[in-house]
Amino acid sequence: GEDVEQSLFLSVREGDSSVINCTYTDSSSTYLYWYKQEPGAGLQLLTYIFSNMDMKQDQRLTVLLNKKDKHLSLRIADTQTGDSAIYFCAESSHSGSARQLTFGSGTQLTVLP
């Protein structure tokens, strides 16, 4: 089945850039997503990218997709303490009539003052 992998932890200093990496195995993925989860809360969609795109930028967030290597990254510019959370990448696969998401293990981002 599909597999999505992420490193578990990342620490950065406030004001620096954060780069969270993700690899996936499903070559038929059409959409790839980044979600943020704060403690005890559900998932907040940050951004997504369609598989025929290489890059997408949305304010402080930049998503890079290397489809050949099946590698996705999320760059957060000027990281703030409020960005501390778990970040999940997910890929969208099709199963029957429903489009399902397969999540990575999540990367715990810690922003140090």
> Which one-letter amino acid corresponds to residue 66?
N
Question: Of the listed pieces 19-27, 33-41, 52-60, 68-76, which binds other proteins according to CB under 8 A?
Answer: 33-41
Choose between 40 and 113: whose C-beta lies nearer to other proteins. 40
Instruction: Tell me if 39 contacts other proteins by CB under 8 A.
Output: no
Are the beta carbons of 74 and 34 closer than 8 angstroms? yes
CA atoms lying within 13 Å on the CB side of residue 39: 4
Residue from 29, 92, 109, 111 that binds other proteins (CB under 8 A)?
92
The minimum distance between CB 103 and other proteins, in angstroms, equals: 5
Residue from 2, 12, 21, 31 that binds other proteins (CB under 8 A)?
31
Residue from 57, 100, 110, 112 that binds other proteins (CB under 8 A)?
100
- Tell me how far apart the alpha carbons of residues 29 and 87 are, in angstroms, rounded to a whole number: 19
> Which one-letter amino acid corresponds to residue 33?
Y
Contacts of 68 (CB under 8 A, 6+ apart): none
Strand bridging mode 85-95 / 9-13:
unpaired
Instruction: Tell me if 107 contacts other proteins by CB under 8 A.
Output: no
Q: What residue ranges bind other proteins (CB under 8 A)?
A: 30-31, 35, 40-45, 48, 88, 92, 95-106, 108
